[in-house]
Structure 1
């Protein structure tokens, strides 16, 4: 089933590019570092790198970068080397990025304040290599210039119809947004399947976290593709069937396993979304999943990092719609 996103969605999206630089604390090894030792010629082998200070002291910066990427993955869809974000969520995302940036800058100052001491500790902890480390050390001003957390948000407008050659590349990227979105959902579902559901006869409510993430992500981007809204309704219907307390087991667990298998297959997911548009109720779809669920097989796709999402962003009880809710296209389709 074809998934093609209309370029009109650009009026509801903002693009963002994350620009985070993290100093590696490494410098390239050079032949003189080994004195008179004979080394193979460069065409045969190349030298690696030397660590100027303990790389563990820089882990915080990678962690903060990962937080920012996770934030954008949960709310947007990959686009043009960055992300496309729903315009109505931009302020919330911007505020969270500002918080992460503040943490990054605080960590940067803490690291720089003890940078010289850190280098000396590294020298003491690596006896016999003191001169190699000391001769490679760089100034704290240089390190400061290599640690930075920034981002750029911008609005993309399609070129005029007169310049079709220029607009064709952008047109192609936008048309694939729906494909990308359903693919990202598949990655989240596959990760959840392997981490929490495969081979289990019961799970805790924490196992719902990735499904809550999928719901949040799709809810913000429902205008990208007509079959997104039915999937949102399907998830809400499934959530409404899960007891408010206790472990999830039996028919409810089998239903969730079937739903995850569906989410892992973008083509099947789009097909079921279309069936809901055409009159199938979400409740009927879940009943079919319950009776036909096969946990032994599923498409193999890469995993995504949504396992730690909080699960308190959706009411415990969601009414089961008797019929699919009207799709809000925002005038785009």
Structure 2
């Protein structure tokens, strides 16, 4: 065999091997395009589009650590020999708010989950859950009786969370609300299911707003009304409220009537100081039993998302000893 034949044979062999290797080569698949989460600014900050949909979702909540001091400090409401004059507790809250635009207005689904932790006492439950389309709302949620004054001294709230169906009309500086509430598992109810009706009218002009709220318990055939005025005065906000109840009912059951006031003074960009006072007449609808309270609340913004709150209240009741109570709270919102 001459040199020329050897070279030709070697070239042929190399070509055959190369062809076999090329046939066995693995071709990498093209990566599928990734769908990134898009920010949704149609309903405010914090919303994003659920991938593959036109629904916007906002996840929020807070973690709270609080130490109560004074009479009735126990978070569980323990009384007697096992009660304590101080108690520490932790709360976690997580909310899911889904919104989308429809031809009938904004469609909303809201779920709020709460977990309360205090030693061996712990529980996780659904705090609120409701559907809303435009002004119509149905579910279990906090109604207008949940609103109080600035600070932590007043007690003008009443029965505020029910399974309800409501409608809210928004007209700029004027709004109106009406709801039908299912009344059950209340201290004042005697039937498995009762019915209540609530109405609220709100008007605002400049730095002044007023709420007129009324509710009627058809089972007890009794009702409650409340007026709340809020006004920007100097470096703070002044609020005053009055409540009257015809007798015990599912909406307000603390006293026949009460008046309360507070002033949230904006001392600095981070510190708000709120003194408050309240007077109750015929507490628990016992004629001649009155009560009054004065208190002070401090709110301090430590940093973005983290705040501290401290409050102290002095209460004088005609039938019980005077008492001083309060709490210290740290809360991280997100």
Per the normalisation by structure 2, the TM-score is 0.23
Decide which structure has greater helix share. 1
Per the normalisation by structure 1, the TM-score is 0.23
Report which structure shows greater RCO (CA 8 Å, sep ≥6). 1
Decide which structure has greater strand share. 2
